[in-house]
């Protein structure tokens, strides 16, 4: 656990709350810098080249946020009046302020998720519009992996990708937590697993500010041509940064040193889910990666979140109760969370 963490608070609201580790801060302090708008920040260029190579793409572009990275990708794939097929609970549809529609004039076609987080192939196919002036032009399939902490099956990715190709659709992956999926699939060689996932997509966005532990930043990967178009949008959206290598070096450190350790977060999530079993009024979903979702009655959710807060445990309860494990939480914090939750239910019943 990080020395900089406030030891009295267990913050499970998100894996975005992580603080840079000592090794990461050292890498940031030592990073050679230039002006990235001129394209000559060596640390930014090194990160972009390293991620593109690891994931099997021609080019990559460092972005201030995952939201901007996804938006630049959507705008690079789609024109005004085009449409992308996307999940109802996908970040690129539900959690990005409607940016694709507002700033890109791109229409979303949201679909319901299957229980495993995938978009059923028949639903995708049924929603690809014919070439007819009544319809927006269906141009892109946008998937997310992990989605709600779940890993999309590899055979599903192959089938969805083939379907999109057959219909002439481009394929974008919101891989904010790509490496969580990769570590879950192959803890021994997560980089190879990440490459296998990415082989099914024309573009992939990866967040470094989540479980990977960097303070800021995402990277969009794709063909040289697509990244060229995304670069123009990034500038227009205000995402051109200058000595950005101070941030890119943190992401690069994470890429080299903090991927495999995501398995620790997955183990903590499992420990938490097991510890919360058997409480009447709380249904725990078995986690596949670092996120534990629980169903609680809506009238209980707010009280439980407040109770946990009074015990120094922070969490969120927007649709479901959500606990996210990350590098600034340890087994002790997880056990405190279990104890505080059990205490809540015992006092309610008593």
Residue 269 and residue 115: Cα distance in Å, rounded? 19
Among 176, 246, 334, 338, binds ligand PLP (CB under 6 A): 176
Residue 15 binds ligand PLP (CB under 6 A): no
Across 14-23, b (16+ Cβ under 10 Å) vs e yields: bbbbbbbbee
Among 2, 65, 243, 283, binds ligand PLP (CB under 6 A): 65
Output the smallest distance, CB 210 to ligand PLP, in A: 6
Binding mask 193-232 for ligand PLP (x = CB under 6 A): --------------x-xx-------x--------------
Instruction: Give the interface segment with ligand PLP, choosing from 61-69, 249-257, 289-297, 312-320 (CB under 6 A).
Output: 61-69
Instruction: Give the interface segment with ligand PLP, choosing from 59-67, 221-229, 243-251, 290-298 (CB under 6 A).
Output: 59-67
> What is the footprint of ligand PLP within residues 127-156 (CB under 6 A)?
144
Residue 265 binds ligand PLP (CB under 6 A): no
> What is the footprint of ligand PLP within residues 72-91 (CB under 6 A)?
91
Output the smallest distance, CB 185 to ligand PLP, in A: 17
Residue 43 binds ligand PLP (CB under 6 A): no
Binding mask 278-297 for ligand PLP (x = CB under 6 A): --------------------
Output the smallest distance, CB 342 to ligand PLP, in A: 29
Query: Interface residues with ligand PLP (CB under 6 A)?
Result: 65-67, 70, 91, 144, 174, 176, 207, 209-210, 218
């Amino acid at each position: 656990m990080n020395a900089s963490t406030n030891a009295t608070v267990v913050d499970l609201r998100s894996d975005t709350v992580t603080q840079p580790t000592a090794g990461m801060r050292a890498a940031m302090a030592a990073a050679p810098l230039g002006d990235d708008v001129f394209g000559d920040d060596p640390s930014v260029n090194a990160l972009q080249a390293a991620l593109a190579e690891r994931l099997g793409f021609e080019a990559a572009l460092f972005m201030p946020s995952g939201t901007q990275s996804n938006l630049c990708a959507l705008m690079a794939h789609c024109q005004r009046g085009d449409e992308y097929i996307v999940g109802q609970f996908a970040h690129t549809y539900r959690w990005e302020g409607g940016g694709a529609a507002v700033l890109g004039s791109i229409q979303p076609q949201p679909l319901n998720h299957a229980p495993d987080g995938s978009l059923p192939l028949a639903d995708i196919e049924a929603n690809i519009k014919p070439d007819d002036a009544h319809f927006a032009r269906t141009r892109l399939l946008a998937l997310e992996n992990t989605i709600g902490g779940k890993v999309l099956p590899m055979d599903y990715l192959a089938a969805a990708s083939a379907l999109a190709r057959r219909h002439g659709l481009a394929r974008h992956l919101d891989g904010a937590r790509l490496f969580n999926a990769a570590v879950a699939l192959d803890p021994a060689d997560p980089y190879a697993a990440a490459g296998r996932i990415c082989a099914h997509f024309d573009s992939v966005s990866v967040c470094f500010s989540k479980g990977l532990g960097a303070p800021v930043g995402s990277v969009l990967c794709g063909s040289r041509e697509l990244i060229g178009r995304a670069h123009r949008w990034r500038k227009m959206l205000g995402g051109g940064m200058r000595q950005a290598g101070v941030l890119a070096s943190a992401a690069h450190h994470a890429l080299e040193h903090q991927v495999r350790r995501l398995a620790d977060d997955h183990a903590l999530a499992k420990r938490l889910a097991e510890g919360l079993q058997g409480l009447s009024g709380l249904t725990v979903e078995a986690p596949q990666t670092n996120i534990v979702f629980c169903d609680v009655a809506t009238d209980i959710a707010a009280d439980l979140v407040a109770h946990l807060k009074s015990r120094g445990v922070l969490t969120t309860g927007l649709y479901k109760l959500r606990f996210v494990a990350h590098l600034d939480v340890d087994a002790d914090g997880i056990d405190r969370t279990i104890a505080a939750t059990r205490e809540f239910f015992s006092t309610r019943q008593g």
